[in-house]
Structure 1
C-alpha cells in the first residue's frame, strides 16, 4: 500500500465535527472525484468513483447522513494489469438530486462554493480532507517531499490554493495535460497539511522518517567534511615534506634559520600530523607555524627554479 493510500484510509475514518463540516468535506470530495450527469428537463445527477474502499464508504455515509436520495452503488473490476476494484456511487438525475447538488455548490458550478460554510477553520480543514480523498497524492517521506491535489476544475484549484494559504501552507499551482495541480514540495508544508486534515498517524510516520533522514544527511555532511579536511591535511603534509627533502638534497638545509629547521624537523618526525597538532607540539600558533612552512616552500621553489635554469 502506498503512503497516499495510508493517508486516505486514515482520514476516511475521521468524523466531521458538525453538519457544516460534513457538507464541506462531501462537496470537495464530489467536486474532486465526481462528474456531473445531464438528465432531461435540465436535471443533473452525479457519479463518483474511487479505487479506495474506505473513501467510497465515507462518501456514501456522508451522503446518506445528509440527504434522503439514495445513490446507486456499484463495483467495477479493474483491468488485469490493475487489479484494483472501482467503487461507483451514482445519483440519477432528478429534481431532488439537482437541488442537492445546488446545495453542495456543484450545480450550477459555483467557484466560491457560496452555499458551503467555509468561514471556520474546521470546515476549511474538512474541505481539504475531502479534496485529498477525492484526488490527492503524497510521496513516501523517504523520497522527495511532494504532495498534490489534482482536479480538472481551474476555479476549484484556485479555491483550494486560497484555503491552503489561509493556513500559511507553501502551496503553489500549475497545470498539466488539461488538469490543474495544487502542490507542496516542502517537508514542513507536507507535514502541516497532514496535521490539518486529521492524518495523525501518517503525520507521525512522516515526521519520524524526516528525523532519521535529517540525521543521516547531517552525518553524511560531517563525514564528508572530515574526509575533505583529512585530505587537505595529507596533501599539505606531503607538500611540506617534499619541500624539506628538496632543500636537504640541495645541501642548503644547514643554512636555514634555526626556526625553519625546527619546523622542518617537527614535520619530518610527524609526517601524518595536522597543522593544529604540530602547533600544539611546538608551542607556536597555527598561523605562525604555517608562516614558517611557507618560507620553507619558497626556498624549495627557488632551488627548483635554479635547477631548471641549469638544465
Structure 2
C-alpha cells in the first residue's frame, strides 16, 4: 500500500465536526472524484468513483447523513491481474438530485461552492480533507517531499490554493495537459498539510522518517566536508614535500633562509600533519607558516623552470 493510500485510509475515518464541515468535505470529495450527469429538463445527477474502499464508505456515509435519497452502489472489477476494484456511487438525474447538487454548490458550475461555509478553519480543513481523498497524492517521506491535488476544474484548483495559503502553506499551482495541479514540495509544508487534514498517524510516520533522513543527510554532509578537508591536507602535504625534494636535489637547500629551512624540516618531521597542526607545533601562525611554504614553492618552481630551458 502506498503512503498516499495510508493517508486516505486514515482520514476516511475522521468525523466532520458538524453539518457544515460535512457538507464542505463531501462537496470537495465529489468535485474532485465525481462527474455530473445531465438528464432531461435540466436535471442533473452525479457519479463518484474511487479505488479506495474506505473513501467510498466515507462518501456514502456522509451522503446518507445529509440527504434522504440513496445512491446506487456498484463495484467494477479491475480488468488486469491485481488491478484494484473501483467503487462507484451513482445518483441518477432527478429534481431531488439537482436540488442536492445545488445545496453542495456543485451545480451550476458558475456558482461553485458559494453555499459552502469555508470561513471557519474546521470547514477549511474538512474541505482539504475531502479534496485529498478524491484526488490527492503524497510521496513516501523517504523520497522527495511532494504532495499534490489534481483536478480538471481550474476554479476549484484556485480555491484549494487559496485555502492552503490561508494556512500559510507553501503551495503552488500549475497546469498539466488540461488538468490543474496544486502542490507542495517542502517537507515542512507537506508535514503541516497532513496535520491540518487530520492524518495524525501519517504525520508521525512522515516526521519520523524525515528526521532520520535529515540526520543522515547532515552526517553525510559532515563526512563529505571532513573528507574534502582531509584530501586538501594530504594534497598540500604531498605538494610541500615535493617542493622540498626539488630544492634538495638541486643543491640549493642550504641557500634558503633559516626560516624556510625551519619550515621544511617541520614538514619533513610531520609528513601527514595539517597546516594548523604544524603551526601549533612550531609556535607560528597558520598564515605565517603558509607564507613560508609559498616561498618554498616559488623556489621549487624557479628551479624546475630553469631545468626546462
What interval of TM-score do these two structures reach, taking the shorter chain for normalisation?
over 0.9
Give 1:187 shift. Answer: 1.1
Aligned match of 1:245: 245
Deviations 1:65-86 (A, max 9, x none): 0010011111110111452111
TM-score, length-normalised on structure 2? 0.98
CA contact (8 A) 2:22 2:126 kept: yes
- Superposition RMSD in Å: 1.1
2:101 partner SS: helix
Q: Using the alignment, how far apart are the partners of 1:111 and 1:149 within structure 2?
A: 21
Secondary structure of 1:189 counterpart: helix
| 1:103 lines up with 2:103 in the alignment | yes
Runs of 4+ residues deviating >4 angstroms? none
Q: Please identify, of 199-208 and 300-309, the stretch whose mean Cα deviation from structure 2 is larger.
A: 300-309
**What is the TM-score normalised by the length of structure 1?**
0.97
Which ranges of structure 2 fall in alignment gaps of 5 or more residues?
A: none
Q: Separation in 2 of the partners of 1:127 and 1:82?
A: 32
Are 1:35 and 2:35 counterparts?
Answer: yes
For residue 256 of structure 1, report the CA deviation from its aligned partner: 1.5
Aligned length: 309
Give, in angstroms, the shift of residue 306 of structure 1.
1.9
Quote the residue 2:50 is aligned against: 50
Q: Deviations over 1:212-269 (max 9, x none)?
A: 1111111111111111111111111111111111111111111222211111111011
Q: CA deviation at 1:112?
A: 4.8
Mapped partners of 1:112, 1:268: distance in 2: 81
The aligned runs of 1:97-176 (5 Å cut-off) are: 97-176=97-176
Do 1:111 and 1:155's aligned partners in 2 also have CA atoms closer than 8 Å? Answer: no
Q: Compute the displacement of 1:295 (Å).
A: 1.2
1:189-234 deviation digits (Å, cap 9, x = unpaired)? 1111111100011111111111111111111111111111111111
Equivalent position SS for 1:150: strand
